[in-house]
Structures are given as structure tokens and as C-alpha cells.
Amino acid sequence: MKGLLWLVVIAALAGVAWMIARWRRQWLERQAAAEARLASFIAQSGPVVAPPITSAPATAAAPAAQAPQERLLLDAAAKAGEAGEPALSIQLYAKLLSRYPQTTYASQARTAVAAQKKKLGHA
């Protein structure tokens, strides 16, 4: 009987050791996957590029910083128009033109507003 008891104790200890090793391996795999996801995210975000040093005044740099915002408004308005929301599209184009009246997208926005007004008139 003592031999059977020792066999059960040894088997239980081996089972516990196996479970601890399995949990540790899974944890290491999760850590490696998390590091891979982080590396992928950093790679997708792109390299940080320092702006070139120029002797231009600070006011000249402001329109360059606004260009992505202008483009986002233009894209949002275009997508709203494609989604069948001409009123929202017109509002977004108006916001673009009111915030940035000298934008390079002004003619494109005005043309799109005219097209959206036609859609709104027929609806």
C-alpha cells in the first residue's frame, strides 16, 4: 500500500510540474505575440520625420500643418455624399470653406456642394 501511495504522490507532483511548465510556455508565447503586435504597430505608424529647418516665418508653417485637417474634412464630406447624406455632406463642405477659405481644395469643395445641392433638390 505504501508503494501505491508513493506512486500517486510522485504522479501528482509530476502533473503539477507539467502544468507549471505548460502555463509558463503559454505565457512566453503570449509575451512574444504581444511584442510582435507592438513591433507591427510601430512599423505601421511610420518613422517620425523631423521637419526641415528653414528660415521661413512661423506663419508660413501654419497652413502646412492645416493641410491634413483640410483633407480630412474633404474626405469626410465626400464619404457622407457617397453614403446618401447630401445635407451632412454640404455641412462638412461649408465647414471646410468657412475654416479654410484659401484652401487648395476650395474649388473641389464648391463643385461638390453644387452636386450635393442637386441631389438634395431631387430627393
Which CATH fold topology does 62-122 show? Methane Monooxygenase Hydroxylase; Chain G, domain 1 (1.20.58)
* 35: pLDDT strictly greater than 60: yes
Q: Domain extents for the chain?
A: 1-44, 62-122
Q: Is the pTM of this model over 0.85?
A: no
CA dist 94 → 3, 36, 90, 121 (Å): 88, 44, 6, 17
Question: Comparing C-alpha atoms, which of 66, 84, 76 is closest to residue 93?
Answer: 76
The tens digit of pLDDT for each residue in 66-102 reads 678 888 888 888 898 888 888 888 888 888 888 888 8
* 109: pLDDT strictly greater than 60: yes
CA dist 41 → 27, 28, 31, 45, 85 (Å): 21, 20, 15, 6, 34
4, three cell numbers: 501505491
* 3: pLDDT strictly greater than 60: yes
